[in-house]
Amino acid sequence: MSLLEAIVLGLVQGLTEFLPISSTAHLRIAPELFGWKDPGAAYSAVIQLGTVAAVLIYFRKDIVSLVAAFFRGLAKKDPFGTVESRLAWFVLVGTLPIGLCGLAFKKSIETQFRSLYVISASLIILAIILFVVEKRASHRRTLADMTWRDGILIGLWQALALIPGSSRSGTTLTGGLSLGLKREDAARYSFLLSIPATTLAGLFELKHLLEATERPSALSLWVGTLVAFASGMAAIAWLLNYLRSRTTLVFVVYRIVLGVLLLVLLQAGVLKPLSGAEHAEAPRDAGARQVEKQVAD
């Protein structure tokens, strides 16, 4: 991987991670358009640590407040006594669905699910759902009004982001809006909820990436992660400011246009549904399953 590729992919990751347009989709599309090798799900997850750092720094006061309230509640034997302590618990509980589903469907997420057909369908379908939710939502509730039911439901929405093209921020933002949260509050909670899931995913994939025989250089990883951090900080600030006075319609339109464009390019043969690495991985998995079946028989 060249430094130019690392910079471009880091920029794409940082700018699209927090916008409801799917960073995974763009990291999958960009190499295809430029004729580069797909960096794979592992590389995407690792440079995601840069955007995690952006959230940690941007929301450092909120995070310190939540962590302090969490432990104060435990010490006082009243773990749900304050808004901050409840939010901390909601973030923990909301992380469980995506963690469990991520482990269960890891192979599919890294291979077949990365098909551009899957990505284009996810872009369009979630755009339609977001549009309907945006129109029907009350936009009146705040984070202080959240309940356990809200925390669990938004966590389930987040698990849908394991399907490339869905967008983690897109699914959680849609989930928050569907429960009546104000746009800015839904986005803020989406950012906080992203911290455990993306951190664990990044560290998990970093271990496997370092053990792989073929992997990007350490310099490429560092450059991609640092660029993702800087562009992620800018994206967070912009989105929160944008949602204070505007709807999510621009993201709905963008997702549909991008999804349709992908389908057109796929049908025209300009883009391939799966990269070479994914084509090779899928048959290998099928062959491994056949061998396991024969051994069992």
User: Model confidence over 205-251: pLDDT tens digits?
Assistant: 777 677 766 667 888 889 999 999 999 999 999 999 999 999 999 99
Number of compact structural domains in the chain: 1
∠ at Cα 150 (59, 247), nearest 5°? 65
Identify which has the larger pLDDT, 197 or 193.
193
Cα distance between residue 274 and residue 32, in whole Å: 10
For residue 212, give both structure tokens.
């792989």
The Cβ of residue 147 has, within 10 Å, a number of other Cβ atoms equal to: 12
Domain range for 155 is: 3-296
The predicted pLDDT at position 282 comes to 45
Q: Which residues of 192-227 are buried (b: 16+ CB within 10 A; e: fewer)?
A: bbbbbbbbbbbebbbeebeeeeebbeeebbebbbbb
The predicted pLDDT at position 47 comes to 85
Q: What is the pTM of this model?
A: 0.83
User: Model confidence over 46-64: pLDDT tens digits?
Assistant: 888 899 899 999 999 999 9
